[in-house]
Structure 1
Amino acid sequence: MVITEEQVTAAEARMKKRVSQTPVARKAFFFQGNVVLVLSNGERFSFRPEQAQGLENARPDDLREIEISPLGDGLHFPALDADLSVPSLLRGVFGSKSWMRSHR
């Protein structure tokens, strides 16, 4: 399959529009018991690790390294091999439906 220059340009335009309309993570760090995100719109968002699936049993050292995906829409915690979706976190979704039901 060959991708044309027009298709690349159109995909880049869609991505730019999506990023401009949806805040994404620019920085992420663990501070005073919270995972803190600095978003592309300048806002900060934080949550306690025990609120999120995959982080609920984490020790502080497990949360020191947080990788942000290239588009800023995902977080990866290497020490835990855990991944979280930034758009989902911003909507209050911290895990699967069944996990969230069991962790209210």
Structure 2
Amino acid sequence: MNKKILITGTDGFIGSSLKHHFINSGFQVFGTTFFRTPNDEKEIQFDITKKEEFSKLWANEQFDIIVHNIGLVDQTLPYEMMHAVNTQGTEFMCEYA
């Protein structure tokens, strides 16, 4: 299998687990991180709240699958931050896809 998959949030628990699963299943996996430095050329540091960041997402690649896995769940965070990541960031991702 030579399908290409983009997984957002590969520095999180679920995203990193998905990354390993799909690599072991034969996919070419590309990923985004926020908190940690990327591991290789198929991973980039990425801020979903900034629309201009989407131009960094491998412009020459065509993905068969996109798994959007970025989100904030801590209800004590400011509303504006949660909205920027969870709502606006998801809208940006849908436009990109």
Q: TM-score range by the shorter chain?
A: under 0.3
Structure of larger gyration radius: 1
Higher relative contact order (CA 8 A, sep 6+): 2
Pick the structure with more strand per residue.
Answer: 1
TM superposition score normalised by structure 1? 0.26
TM superposition score normalised by structure 2? 0.27
